[in-house]
């Protein structure tokens, strides 16, 4: 396709597309014909009639213009009945704008166009976050329209330093993105690095969030999430004021936050909405639950298979008595129930919500009770897997929860092979792996591994707000003062 802006070229190119409209409008008094270029279904037809058609037919000053250049100058200098109007000379940009829902007025002699932003998308209303429910806080959440999402952020941060950069990814999809940061707080080296990564993406279509995540993360072989997503505008605003960078993608109803560290994934907006002692207690419970869901199945396998003497006498005797009529080893029982647990979760996700919830509850009860009655598994294993499974769902971030569930299998297999020695090897490998992760120059376990004591006031415990005086040094090397 030629790069010259011309209505005839566009008509030939879109001749088979019935939704693309290229319509001539003749200005009668000066005998000038312009062409309207737009996509039916993406534009606001009411605004189109009022801002474009009405002005072209009834604006006397527009009819007095003798040349296309004069008409363009008049429209751009205030004659257009719409505030978002600009001149365009690049065919590629014209196509991008129009195919995203704008209207182009093509002037063939000038080989230029005027763009009107009169987009109108079918969208769902702003509702309460489905995955990040909160009792004491804002109830709005992001939706699939990027411009509404950036407006929700702008509504909470009214600083003149808040920057919303426009980016575009996908040779075919041409997906719009916005890179959001506070210019006088964020580390511009990190901003430039993220921007370069996004601009270097060479792919036809951004169809799922994983496409974005795999290009942005630096350690692609790690199970643990290195980019945080959230549905909550207030959470994005809080992280932007801490110096992080947000990425808003058109068509995705949540926002990415970078750099991301493990303590971020263990925090919830409820921690800051309640008293600091309550928030700290909830965090301690989460960290304890993470330890339980990771190590409890593996510990049971190692203790009952290799080191019975580590258990109290009464517990060891009751465990062995329950296993007398079970034909499988402890490792086979635990791994089998873990797999069954994952199957029930997957089945509940695939079924309709009402049916899936009932099936998950009844399926777990019926299968577990039937397996115990048939003496295929011991009651202790059912209790162990139930505790481990429920503890895994306490994690605020679902990507982190999925990573922990996968590593739980790995630890269970190591415990089945080597007992507590295998469990210790798995623990060492996990710690080494987490310590080796680096996210845009910031350690993944930061601030646990930081020497700056001020960074430790919002990790395992949530200190009172008056102690949050500085931003993390690794994320914000300058302008660290938050409050005095």
Q: Is residue 137 part of a domain?
A: no
Measured between alpha carbons, how far is residue 81 from residues 13, 41, 56, 268 in Å?
30, 21, 10, 46
The residue count for the chain: 484
Q: Is residue 457 part of a domain?
A: no
For 112, the token pair is 């230029």
pLDDT greater than 80 at residue 134: no
Measured between alpha carbons, how far is residue 222 from residues 218, 374, 412, 434 in Å?
9, 40, 19, 9
pLDDT greater than 80 at residue 191: yes
Residue pair 200/209 in contact by the 8 Å Cβ criterion: no
Residues 469-482 pLDDT 10s:
788 878 888 877 87
Q: Is residue 159 part of a domain?
A: yes
For 200, the token pair is 């270097």
Same domain, 158 and 13: no
Give the pLDDT confidence score for residue 411 in this predicted structure.
94
What percent of the chain is predicted at pLDDT more than 70? 92
Give the pLDDT confidence score for residue 330 in this predicted structure.
81
Q: Is residue 1 part of a domain?
A: no
Give the pLDDT confidence score for residue 285 in this predicted structure.
92
Same domain, 413 and 278: yes
pLDDT band at 144 (very low <50, low <70, confident <90, very high): confident
Mean pLDDT of the chain: 84
Same domain, 281 and 417: yes
Count the neighbouring beta carbons within 10 Å of the beta carbon of residue 22. 19
Give the pLDDT confidence score for residue 363 in this predicted structure.
64
Give the pLDDT confidence score for residue 61 in this predicted structure.
79
Higher pLDDT among residues 35 and 455, named by residue: 35
pLDDT band at 412 (very low <50, low <70, confident <90, very high): very high
Say which range, 306-310, 330-334, 385-389, has the weakest mean pLDDT: 306-310
Same domain, 281 and 411: yes
pLDDT band at 314 (very low <50, low <70, confident <90, very high): confident
Say which range, 81-85, 143-147, 289-293, has the weakest mean pLDDT: 81-85
- Alpha carbon distance 203, 209 (integer Å): 14
| DSSP codes of every residue in 14-37 | TTT-TTEEEEEEEETTTTEEEEEE
Q: Is residue 38 part of a domain?
A: yes
Of 201, 235, 260, the residue at which a domain comes to its end is 260
Give the pLDDT confidence score for residue 355 in this predicted structure.
61
Residues 36-48 pLDDT 10s:
898 888 888 888 8
3-class DSSP state of 139 = coil
Same domain, 381 and 283: yes
Same domain, 330 and 229: no
Residue pair 73/87 in contact by the 8 Å Cβ criterion: no
Same domain, 183 and 279: no
Give the pLDDT confidence score for residue 165 in this predicted structure.
92
pLDDT greater than 70 at residue 389: yes
Same domain, 295 and 402: yes
How many domains in the chain?
3
Same domain, 232 and 290: no
* Three-point CA angle 191, 249, 212, nearest 5°: 75
Of 423, 439, 455, the residue at which a domain comes to its end is 439
Q: Is residue 470 part of a domain?
A: no
Measured between alpha carbons, how far is residue 164 from residues 147, 151, 179, 396 in Å?
10, 10, 6, 28
Give the pLDDT confidence score for residue 359 in this predicted structure.
62
Give the pLDDT confidence score for residue 49 in this predicted structure.
81
pLDDT greater than 70 at residue 2: no
Return the closest-CA partner of residue 441 out of 265, 194, 182: 194
- Alpha carbon distance 389, 391 (integer Å): 5
What mean pLDDT do residues 439-451 have?
83
Give the pLDDT confidence score for residue 366 in this predicted structure.
66
Same domain, 421 and 303: yes
pLDDT greater than 90 at residue 325: no
Same domain, 340 and 412: yes
Q: Is residue 462 part of a domain?
A: no
Same domain, 394 and 354: yes
Give the pLDDT confidence score for residue 347 in this predicted structure.
75
- Alpha carbon distance 359, 301 (integer Å): 29
pLDDT greater than 80 at residue 212: yes
Q: Is residue 435 part of a domain?
A: yes
Give the pLDDT confidence score for residue 125 in this predicted structure.
73
What mean pLDDT do residues 122-139 have?
74
Say which range, 205-219, 403-417, 421-435, has the weakest mean pLDDT: 205-219
Residues 365-385 pLDDT 10s:
666 676 766 677 778 888 888
For 217, the token pair is 């993360």
Of 94, 116, 138, the residue at which a domain comes to its end is 116
**What element of type H or E holds 382?**
helix 379-392
pLDDT greater than 70 at residue 122: no
Q: Which residues contact 440 (CB under 8 A, 6 or more apart)?
A: 190, 193, 194, 218, 258, 259
Domain containing residue 41: 7-116
**What element of type H or E holds 256?**
strand 255-258
pLDDT greater than 80 at residue 339: yes
Residues 229-273 pLDDT 10s:
999 998 999 899 989 999 999 888 899 999 999 988 988 877 888
pLDDT greater than 70 at residue 395: yes
Give the pLDDT confidence score for residue 240 in this predicted structure.
93
Give the pLDDT confidence score for residue 404 in this predicted structure.
92
């Amino acid at each position: 396709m030629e790069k010259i802006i011309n209505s005839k070229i566009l008509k030939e190119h879109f001749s088979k597309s019935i939704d693309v409209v290229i319509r001539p409008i003749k200005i009668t008094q000066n005998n000038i014909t312009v062409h309207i270029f737009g996509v039916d279904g993406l534009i606001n037809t009411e605004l189109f009639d009022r801002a474009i058609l009405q002005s072209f037919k009834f604006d006397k000053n527009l009819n007095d213009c003798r040349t296309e250049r004069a008409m363009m100058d008049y429209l751009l200098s205030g004659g257009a009945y719409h505030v978002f109007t600009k001149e365009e000379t690049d065919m590629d940009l014209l196509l991008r704008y129009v195919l995203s829902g704008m209207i182009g007025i093509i002037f063939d002699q000038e080989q230029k166009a005027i763009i009107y932003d009169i987009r109108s998308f079918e969208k769902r209303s702003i509702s309460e976050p489905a995955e990040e429910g909160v009792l004491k806080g804002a109830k709005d959440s992001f939706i699939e329209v990027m411009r509404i999402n950036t407006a929700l952020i702008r509504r909470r941060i009214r600083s003149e330093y808040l920057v919303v950069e426009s980016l575009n990814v996908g040779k075919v999809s041409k997906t719009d993105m916005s890179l959001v940061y506070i210019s006088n707080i964020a580390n511009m080296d990190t901003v430039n690095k993220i921007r370069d990564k996004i601009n270097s993406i060479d792919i036809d279509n951004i169809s799922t969030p994983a496409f974005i995540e795999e290009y942005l993360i630096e350690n692609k072989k790690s199970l643990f999430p290195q980019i945080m997503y959230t549905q909550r505008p207030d959470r994005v605003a809080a992280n932007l004021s801490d110096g992080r960078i947000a990425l808003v993608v058109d068509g995705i109803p949540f926002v990415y936050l970078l750099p991301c560290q493990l303590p971020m994934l263990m925090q919830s907006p409820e921690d800051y909405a309640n008293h600091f002692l309550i928030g700290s207690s909830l965090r301690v419970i989460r960290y304890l639950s993470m330890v339980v869901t990771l190590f409890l199945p593996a510990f049971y396998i190692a203790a009952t298979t290799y080191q019975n003497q580590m258990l109290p006498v009464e517990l060891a005797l009751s465990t062995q008595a329950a296993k007398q009529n079970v034909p499988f080893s402890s490792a086979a029982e635990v791994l089998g129930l873990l797999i069954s647990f994952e199957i029930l979760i997957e089945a509940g996700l695939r079924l309709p919500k009402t049916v899936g919830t009932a099936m998950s509850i009844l399926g777990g009860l019926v299968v577990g009770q039937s397996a115990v009655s048939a003496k295929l598994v011991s009651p202790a294993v059912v209790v162990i897997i139930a505790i481990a499974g429920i503890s895994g769902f306490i994690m605020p971030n679902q990507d982190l929860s999925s990573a922990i569930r996968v590593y739980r299998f790995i630890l269970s297999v190591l415990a089945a092979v080597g007992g507590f020695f295998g469990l210790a090897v798995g623990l060492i490998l996990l710690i080494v792996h987490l310590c080796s992760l680096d996210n845009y120059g910031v350690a993944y376990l930061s601030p646990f591994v930081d020497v700056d004591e001020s960074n430790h006031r919002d990790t395992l415990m949530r200190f009172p707000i008056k102690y949050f005086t500085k931003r993390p040094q690794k994320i914000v090397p300058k302008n660290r003062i938050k409050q005095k």
